[in-house]
Every structure is written in structure tokens, then in C-alpha cells.
Structure 1
């Protein structure tokens, strides 16, 4: 009965130790196993002493002799092993590299050929009774599974990551930035230059977790926002960037329940922002003259709705109607409808304003997205020549300037520290003390570490001009 159990236990230990990224956890498991074995030996020794007190001298002497021999054998095995030796001693020989095999041969020569066999848990477990070994193994397996399945508690309304969701993987260190949007799928891998992560290991984790790759690099995993999706989704034409789309929504003052007209669906970025703004009670009519662009916009819109419903547990409002039509000749689609706002992303928007004007509520806003200043001039000239009742309230562009604000770090990797000046030291001594102060003593003191602040080397420059037109009553 003991031999099959030892084989099963060794198979479990070898399977556990083959994963390099869980090395620290496995070391704790082996420590627990060693402690349980030591406690079992201590219990056996105490029982022998108790028998001696009762007068069972013959039985206790034989047991003491056996325990003494076992303790001597265990003492001979107690030597300091490197992590490489401890792991390699538990693996079969056909899986070891030549360097590890050479290390084994050296140990065999130094210890007379007994080190390899004595270091294996098979001989180590021979000194235990079968029942004691079974109890120790059950305790270790129970703690191991408990540690693996332990998940932080989630708040009401939150949920763990599930297959089908859109996630973002991020890693930033010393200006090396890694950002990738991916959909969680069964059996897939998240690959990067710093190793890979199995999607099966991500599922069931809370959002906003750090998971280590096969090379031990921590990658931050979180759910993708609408801004992330718009920037990373597949696109045909250029998208309306989130910074511009947010400004256009403020220009138009779009609220829940509004009816909005959009011309120039593109890749569907602005359609998604409008869909979220009007909510389930509103509607968006989106027109696109190119059929291939319209297909891409519809695919992106439906993909986001599907993944969002998996995340929230309820459906995204189906409030956008896409049509392959030219706004100049789409009077039939606009018949009998009124709009609270209009968003235009066209090369020549002044040509469609006469068609839009009758269906725009008085005092409502038409926001126009234009790539260059020449288009802005043409729009102004077109409105002037057509004598359309529009007020040019604003012509802007929206720059975004990123900044780097971080603790000041020296070349040796330690933080600069600040110390209060003392009257007994001159300025040179103060500077020297400032450089040599240990960060361990002052890292927890508020204001002890200075920060650097400078513009980020990568900046988002011009994307578009935004023109705000408001309809007035003549």
C-alpha cells in the first residue's frame, strides 16, 4: 500500500515543481511537508519516552534504536541545497539540462554516489509510517488547492472576468509601454515580448489584477473602457478621437432621450459615444456614403454591444440605425423627424447644411469635425454665400498634453531624499548628506522624496478642428 502512494505523491510533487513562476509557493509547500514530517517524528519520540516511564523497557529500547538510526540518516541528509539542486532533485533525468546533469555528477562524486538518491523525497518518505505520510500529504494538498482558488471578495454589482469579455493588458517600465486589447477566449494565450499568459489563468480573476507572464513579468489586466475600445478597434477611415468626441458631445449638449443625426459613420467611433449619451430612450440616425465604411462601423458597434453585455449582465441600448446614404439626397430618411443635435464628419459639410437645417430644432447645435483649416474656411464661406441661419459660436482644436510626474531616482536606482538644513553644517555638507541619506528611513515620510515634472516625450498633436454652429430663428 505504501509504494503506490509514494508514486502518487512523487508525481504530484514533480507536477507542482515544474512551473518556475510558482517557485515561491511550492517552496512553502515543501517547508510545510518537512514540518509535518518533523512533528510526526517528535510525536513518535515522545510516545517512546512515555512507554519508558511506564516500564515498557524492551519495546521502547527497540523503537529508540530504530528512531536513532532514522535520525542519523536524516542528519546525514541535512545539507544546504541551492534552489537549483532542490528542484532538480525532484525531476526525472530526461527533463534536465546538461548543466544540471553536470551538477548532479559533481555532487555524486563528492558524497560517494549517495547524494542523488538521498536527496529525493522517495527515500525521505520511507522513514515515515504510511498513515502519517497520508495525513501529511492530505494537509499539503488541501492547503495547496486553497491557495490556488483563493479569490479576493468582490463588491455588490461587480463580477469576475469571464470568457468573451474585452480586456486590456498594460505594462510600463522605463518608457517601454505595452498596451494590448484582447478578448478572453478558452485555450488562448496573451503573448508579449515579456512572455505569455494563459487566458484560462485570467478567467475567474477580479478586474484590475497583476498577473505574471511565463518570464515572471507582472502585466496589469483590466476591463477595456469605451475609450480603449475606440482607440484599439479595427478601423477603415480615421476615427474621431475620444478627446474630440467628448468635446463635441459637450458642444451639442446631448442628454438621455435626445434624437441625434450623424453623417459620416466612419469606423463607428462617434456612433458609440452618441449611443451611450442618448441612452435607451434616445436614438441616433447614422448615415455613411461608403458601403465598406458602413460595414466596419456596424461590426464595431455590434462587437462592443456583445462584449459589454457579458460584462454588465444587461444589454447595451440598441439605439443606432445605420444607413448607406448620402445626406444631400436623403430627404426621405429625414421626413417627419426632428433632431436635437447634428454631428457632421464630412469633407464638404457646407453642402449638406441646407438639407439638415429644416430638421434641426431652433437653438440646437450642429458640431462639425474638420481635419484642416482649409475646410473650416470653406465651411464659413459656404454658410455666408447660402445665407443660412447659423451662428459660428466657436472654432477650436483640443490638444492633450501628457506629463511625467514621478519620484526622482538616482543612477544607482535609489530615490533622492530631502533633509532639513541644520545650522552646524555648511551647504556642501548638506548636499552630501542629501545624496547619501538612506531611502529606507525616509521613504515613509511625507515630502521626504522630491518629484520630477516634465512634459511626456510623446505628445498628441493636432487631430481636428471642431466648429460649433447654432441655428437661430430669422
Structure 2
């Protein structure tokens, strides 16, 4: 026979013991606490219940109070208890209602109002009620606004204005069906397969609003982030994707005030990331040999700066200098220049390294963006032949894997339901099976299982990154 017993009191039992002991001392009495072990219907299994005996001085009558042990809260229940009540969706409220009804009807009150008032008089604090939760409108100014039904509006938040770059998004069953970046202009329409929205209906709304089309479909309107902008902006050549751009910034350790050289402006994606990294006190020199590429990079850069100024009310730093030149032949553009880091996005970067590296600080990093492994091999062979003071520290590829996480659904579209949790009355093994015959509205909060799997559409290979560090050559 295997007996399961615990010598430690649960937290709720300990709190109740202290409360009853406080009241008994006020009445010149005492209390005792012991554990009661009962056998369940399952063989060789026992359940420990904490009991309290209150002993009066001149009275042999014992008052026994059972302290039931509550089940542990699920992560979803913990999170929802911390959120304001008015921020919960109707679905969450519907799922929480059965559990609240069970707690109110299934567990009797363990102490009366007099004990509660006595405890408040002793401690001098009356803000905790209903199982340790703060009472409404008792903590801060924000809580008072929430209790009065007022919506909290963050300070400094601006409404959508004409000229901003926005993103329209429509999701169906958790999947993105439509996503489009556009500039908010007067007398213009946002057209999609789900309907049309006038730009005048968008202006003046807060970012993140759902606006209905003429067909009644709600479309999410939000401001475009820098990641959104570089992915959806007009391109000349292929851009440096945000995941590689972020890795290159970490490789080069770019910080505010640095002076960085970018060879291969392309469509201007890396120029924007570098511009934000160096800040107002830094400088970026972006060089490209083709005039059409440089023109597109300048347009994209200025377009983002205009949208940012309308959005934040302050200008984006004008710290990028675009230069059309061939670094292999025109070395005068780098005359008297020094750089804290160098970023190369060229077909043959090993041809440019002998011209660029002398202007790079010792110990600094040159990050190179290459499309295929053949270019990596040519680069390493060029380094071997030129004998440049460079150390190849790292060659890497950055895979990205998106996941789908969603509630488990039945064929009829209703949620699958987990088995009921283990209780003292019904101590049965829970194998994680699903009950398919229960209706959706009776699902307790946190009882719906989730399914997680990789997204069927994944981003394939984009580029290789090579990290080269300049060192000081030792004299022979």
C-alpha cells in the first residue's frame, strides 16, 4: 500500500489558521490544527484535509472547520486575474463564469463577517477582499478611472493624419488574408477584395482601430513599423531583410555617434537601419555604383522621414549621405574618412576590401551580406591572396521559423474540451483526453487545449553573413 501524506500546510490553510487563532485569542480561547486523512474510491490513495478545532476555556464543545484545498490556477487564469475587468473580451468572461459559479456555490464560507471585521480592526487594512484581491477603486488613479468606466488614454498619443504610412490588415481564423501598406492621402480610397474604405474615414482615428469597409468587413488600420516599411516599400534590387540587418548591427556593434560606411545602397533598407542606430550625432555614408538604385534609396529614405515626422512630431535625423561612385576605381570619395564599422552588400566584396579596410578603425568589424555560398568561397579566397589584416570570425545563416498556435477545434467548429480536473470527490487519472460532447459555452477558463505546429509557409534562405575583424599587423 502506498500512502500519500504531506506534513506541510497549504498556504490557504495557514492563513485561515492564523485568522482563527487571532479571533480565539480575543475571546480568551485557543485553537488546534490537525490533518484528516480519508481514503478515496481509488485503491491505495489517500487525501489529506486540514481541520481546525476551536477550544473555548469553559466549554467542551468543539467547532470543526474544514479548509478545502483549492486546485492550482492555470496560467491563463493567473493572467486574467491581473488584467482590468473592463479589458477582458466577452469570450473570456463567458469562459470564466462557470468557474466563478462553482467557487461561489461549491465552497461554504469559512468565517463570518464578524471575524473579517475583527481582522480589519487588528491590522488596520481593509483593502483586501474576496480571497486576497484588491477591492475596486482602492489602489491608484488608474483603478479609479477603470471603475468609473473611463477609458485610459496614454499621454502623447497622436491620431492618424494625412501623409502617414499605414498598414491595413485583415485576418480570418488567425491567418493573415490581406495586408497592404499605403500612405494616407485626401480624396483616396483603400481598395481590397473585402471592400473599400475612404481615407477620410481613417484620418482622425487612433492607430490600431478596426474600420469597416462598405461590405461590412472590419479591417485593422495601424502605423507601419520600420520592419513593415522596408518589407513593403518599393524596391530596385533585393533588400537586406530585417533579420539579417539586425544581426549585422550586432556584429558591427553600431551605437549612437558612430560613423559607418555602407557599400551597396540598394533600395535603402540597410541605410534606414543604420540611420536609426547612429542617431543624430552619427553619420552614415551610403555608396552605390548605379544611379537608379541610388535614386530609389533616396526616395525611400525621404519618404520614411516624412511619415516619421508626422507621426512623432519631431524630425527623423538627416544623417545619411548618399554617394554615387565605384569604390574600386574612385578612391577619392573615402579620402580623409574614418569609420567605426563597414557594411558591404556587393557581388564581389573582396575587390573592394583593399580600398575600404585602410579607413576602418583597428579592431572594428566589417559585416558582409552575401546571397550564396559561392560568393563566400570567393571572398575567403580573396582574403587569402590579398593578405589583408582581417580575421574571419564568423560565417552564418539566419533561418526563421514561424509557428501556428491555436485552440483545438472539432469538425463542427466548436472548441474541444479537456477532461475535468482532479477533485477530492472524483479522484480519477487524467490522461489529457478530450470531451467532445460538451457545449462550447460550458467550457471553464483554461480548459481548452491548444495545438502548436510550424507554419506551412516558411521564409526560405535569404543570405549568408560574414564577420571580418581588422587587426594590427605585427612588424617583422
> TM-score surpassing 0.5?
yes
1:231 aligns with 231
Task: State the SS of the aligned residue for 1:328.
Answer: coil
User: What's the offset of the Cα at 1:153?
Assistant: 6.1
Q: Are 1:343 and 2:350 counterparts?
A: no
1:197 aligns with 197
Point out the structure with the larger helix share: 1
Looking at both structures, which has the greater relative contact order when contacts are Cα pairs under 8 Å and sequence separation is at least 6? 2
Q: Are 1:453 and 2:452 counterparts?
A: yes
User: What's the offset of the Cα at 1:428?
Assistant: 13
Task: State the SS of the aligned residue for 1:436.
Answer: coil
Residues 251 and 367 of structure 1 are in contact (CA less than 8 Å); yes or no, is this contact kept in structure 2?
yes
| Rounded Cα–Cα distance in structure 2 between residues aligned with 1:430 and 1:374 | 51
| Rounded Cα–Cα distance in structure 1 between residues aligned with 2:391 and 2:239 | 27
User: What's the offset of the Cα at 1:188?
Assistant: 1.1
Task: State the SS of the aligned residue for 1:271.
Answer: helix
2:402 aligns with 402
Q: Structure 2 vs 1, CA of residues 152 and 267 (structure 1 numbering), >3 Å: closer, same or farther? A: farther
5+ long unaligned stretches in structure 1: 1-150
User: What's the offset of the Cα at 1:427?
Assistant: 9.8
User: What's the offset of the Cα at 1:420?
Assistant: 2.3
User: What's the offset of the Cα at 1:248?
Assistant: 0.4
| Rounded Cα–Cα distance in structure 2 between residues aligned with 1:208 and 1:408 | 28
Q: Structure 2 vs 1, CA of residues 430 and 265 (structure 1 numbering), >3 Å: closer, same or farther? A: closer
5+ long unaligned stretches in structure 2: 1-149
C-alpha distance after superposition, 1:288-325 (max 9, x if no partner):
00011111111111111111111010110000000110
User: What's the offset of the Cα at 1:337?
Assistant: 1.4
1:183-332 matches, cutoff 5 A: 183-332=183-332
1:371 aligns with 371
Please provide the CA RMSD for this pair: 2.1
| Rounded Cα–Cα distance in structure 2 between residues aligned with 1:313 and 1:363 | 39
Residues 260 and 284 of structure 1 are in contact (CA less than 8 Å); yes or no, is this contact kept in structure 2?
yes
Residues 256 and 278 of structure 1 are in contact (CA less than 8 Å); yes or no, is this contact kept in structure 2?
yes
TM-score normalised by structure 2 residue count: 0.65
Residues 152 and 206 of structure 1 are in contact (CA less than 8 Å); yes or no, is this contact kept in structure 2?
no
Point out the structure with the larger strand share: 2
1:158 aligns with 157
Q: Are 1:466 and 2:443 counterparts?
A: no
| Rounded Cα–Cα distance in structure 2 between residues aligned with 1:384 and 1:430 | 60
| Rounded Cα–Cα distance in structure 1 between residues aligned with 2:272 and 2:246 | 11
TM-score normalised by structure 1 residue count: 0.65
1:7-86 matches, cutoff 5 A: none
Residues 421 and 430 of structure 1 are in contact (CA less than 8 Å); yes or no, is this contact kept in structure 2?
no
| Rounded Cα–Cα distance in structure 2 between residues aligned with 1:176 and 1:333 | 46
1:52-201 matches, cutoff 5 A: 154-174=153-173, 175=175, 177-201=177-201
| Rounded Cα–Cα distance in structure 1 between residues aligned with 2:283 and 2:328 | 21
Moved more, 460-469 or 173-182: 173-182
Residues 418 and 432 of structure 2 are in contact (CA less than 8 Å); yes or no, is this contact kept in structure 1?
no
1:436 aligns with 437
| Rounded Cα–Cα distance in structure 2 between residues aligned with 1:420 and 1:458 | 36
1:126 aligns with none
* Structure having the higher Rg: 1
Residues 169 and 176 of structure 2 are in contact (CA less than 8 Å); yes or no, is this contact kept in structure 1?
no
Residues 338 and 359 of structure 2 are in contact (CA less than 8 Å); yes or no, is this contact kept in structure 1?
yes
C-alpha distance after superposition, 1:253-302 (max 9, x if no partner):
00000000000000000001000000100000000000111111111111
Q: Structure 2 vs 1, CA of residues 394 and 429 (structure 1 numbering), >3 Å: closer, same or farther? A: closer
User: What's the offset of the Cα at 1:425?
Assistant: 11
| Rounded Cα–Cα distance in structure 2 between residues aligned with 1:231 and 1:430 | 42
| Rounded Cα–Cα distance in structure 2 between residues aligned with 1:322 and 1:210 | 39
| Rounded Cα–Cα distance in structure 1 between residues aligned with 2:452 and 2:370 | 34
Task: State the SS of the aligned residue for 1:178.
Answer: strand
Task: State the SS of the aligned residue for 1:376.
Answer: helix
Residues 209 and 221 of structure 2 are in contact (CA less than 8 Å); yes or no, is this contact kept in structure 1?
yes
Runs of 4+ in 1 over 3 A off after TM superposition: 151-154, 421-431
2:68 aligns with none
User: What's the offset of the Cα at 1:155?
Assistant: 1.7
Task: State the SS of the aligned residue for 2:418.
Answer: coil
| Rounded Cα–Cα distance in structure 1 between residues aligned with 2:161 and 2:259 | 34
2:387 aligns with 387
Residues 421 and 430 of structure 2 are in contact (CA less than 8 Å); yes or no, is this contact kept in structure 1?
no
C-alpha distance after superposition, 1:26-74 (max 9, x if no partner):
xxxxxxxxxxxxxxxxxxxxxxxxxxxxxxxxxxxxxxxxxxxxxxxxx
Residues 154 and 206 of structure 1 are in contact (CA less than 8 Å); yes or no, is this contact kept in structure 2?
no
| Rounded Cα–Cα distance in structure 2 between residues aligned with 1:376 and 1:177 | 38
| Rounded Cα–Cα distance in structure 2 between residues aligned with 1:424 and 1:280 | 67
User: What's the offset of the Cα at 1:329?
Assistant: 2.5
2:67 aligns with none
- Corresponding pairs, count: 321
Task: State the SS of the aligned residue for 1:310.
Answer: helix
| Rounded Cα–Cα distance in structure 2 between residues aligned with 1:427 and 1:279 | 60
Moved more, 328-337 or 236-245: 328-337
